[in-house]
Structure 1
Amino acid sequence: MHPTTALPDAVPFSRPPTPGLHPLRIGWYGLGAMGYFMARNIATSKKLHPASASPILVYNRTLEKAEKLVSEIGGAAAVVASSPAQLVTDCDVIFTNLANDAAVQSVYNDFTKTLSSTHPTRSKIFVDTSTIYPSLAAEVDKSLSNFPYCHFVASPVFGPPAEANAGKLVIAMSVGRKVIDLGGNVEKAPTLKLIGNGLIMGANELLAETLTLGEKSGIGAQTVQNLVKEIMPAPSLLAYADKMVNDKFDGSAGFAIDLGIKDSLHVRRLAAETNCPVPTIDVAHQHMLTARSIHQRQNQTGSQKWDLLDWSAIIAGCRVATGLDPFDSKVDHVVPDD
């Protein structure tokens, strides 16, 4: 299905009204690398969630993460929900931040089962901040639209966990430093998110190639990084160049390469469905697969340095293709001539 084509018999897209004047109860499902910080910021924000409001309800498949959040910010700001069903029945706005399409589909299927038995009598807004394929957003929207007073907002976010922590995310329709309103068609926000992630992974591929070329040509990757700082000082380029040059490939502190590969599959699917070749993304995808394959082999032999691999390790694909060590730049480090 074309990513911007409405599903057959779908209800017209519309923007949900703000729920009534009663105090809002907020729920959050998914406390991974991004969701944890986003939920914490909402729970502790005086502007978005005043002290007079109820604590937000939080739920995570791994209970320990929910308990950790409550322990960090206190029971007055957040409490652990007993089940996903409690989020649906007790909350007016339910946020989700999940790892992949399968998780989103499963969670929203559970939500609709609860809605079938509870019959909501006031407005409920479901806000998904995950990165999913556009047609899935439309499917979720259609499913929720079958219930009165229920509305769905596709609201994927741009930025790594550190920016989620600092409240500096860019959000394609929903708390951050910038909101991009794409109108009522819920497929547009996930489409823009995939395009944006494609832009980032394409830029990372270019960084990986030029930094590796700098090393192989005797200039040195550090010198190329300094050039990036002078002529292309975009925050994302600077951050990922630093990771690549200094072998900062710990995915637990960044964006896991598994998620990057998932996103590259989505971007390539979108490209195929729209007849729009994306050769840079194709190469980036292959290099991420190479990096993950090497890392998995290291896991098998017990020689891995990181439990999770960051997607900046895309440079490993370039390094091994030129005979360099994939994850340790010091092995073949070039010292530029004076």
Structure 2
Amino acid sequence: MTILQTHHTTRSTSAGPRAAGLSPWLAGLWSVAYLGLAVLHLLRDTGAPWVPTEASVLGSLSSPDVSVLIVALGALGLVGLALRSRSPRLAGSLLVATGLVTALVLADARSLTFLGYLPMLLLGLVGVGPMDEVATDRLVPALASVGESVGGLALVLTGVAALRATTDRPGWPVATAARVCRWAVAVAIAVPAFYASTRLAWALGIPFGVREEFLVELGDGKLAGLGLALAALVGCVLTAGLVMRWGEVFWSWLPVIGGRPVPVRLALLPSVFVGAVVFSAGLAFWRLMWTGQITDIPGNEADWAAWVPELFWPLWGVALAVAGLAYAARRVGER
């Protein structure tokens, strides 16, 4: 056996555990569950796995229309999973393509709504806070969208693992990965910081980018905006960790894990997941711009701060995912 063959065999074997991890199970679970729900909705008019909303690239479609799409995506996901051992390259390509459509197009802004409003939604379920009357109505469709985001990401990761098992191409050089990570982190911090500054100003009664009448009409919605702003700022801090020492080694004062290396996947997976969620939410705002429906959201054209920051979300999503990938490439390359 040649050195190249030995290297290829070792690489394929080491990729096996990754491909046989949690991602294929989540991908299979999503494909079976959502395909089944979509078929039942089409045949027996049961509850739809997807509810029409303007906060989606597919907002102009009906639930039956999207159910047909879900059936196709679920079937493609199952075919890709079944072909992994026989034709890993074909299976990997099919799974990545299916996963990207699922995570970026089928999933929508409700995934981001769930992540941003989660603390308030949980309080609303017990009748506390400004969302006590709408928490349940928002929770179910948002959870369905989160399931699409998770399922799509699982399909992509499973497909990438299958493709990696068929190639010996080296990863990014450490220096290149570090440089890319710094630039991507800068963008992934600037965009949510801009968004957060508008919502913080509103919470303080400052009409930044909006009319004073808009703040009055917003009422308790300013508190929800404050919650989203704080969540965005927390995300900025965590994103900065991708280029900071504490993003590689846990702080020494932390119990049990203090001083230990930060697992690469602990930073990589949230970066890619949140990046996908933010990207799909941003696409929804671009759809509203394209169709002239942007004024349907609270406020009007004069209240530019209500919708302009969201137009940068696709850039934020791409930057965050790239930052996570570059961080992982740098960490792995330094070992």
Smaller-chain TM-score bracket: under 0.3
TM-score (norm 1): 0.28
Q: Structure 2 length normalisation: TM-score?
A: 0.28
Which structure exhibits the higher relative contact order, with contacts defined as CA atoms closer than 8 Å and separated by 6 or more residues?
Answer: 2
Between Structure 1 and Structure 2, which shows a larger proportion of strand residues? 1
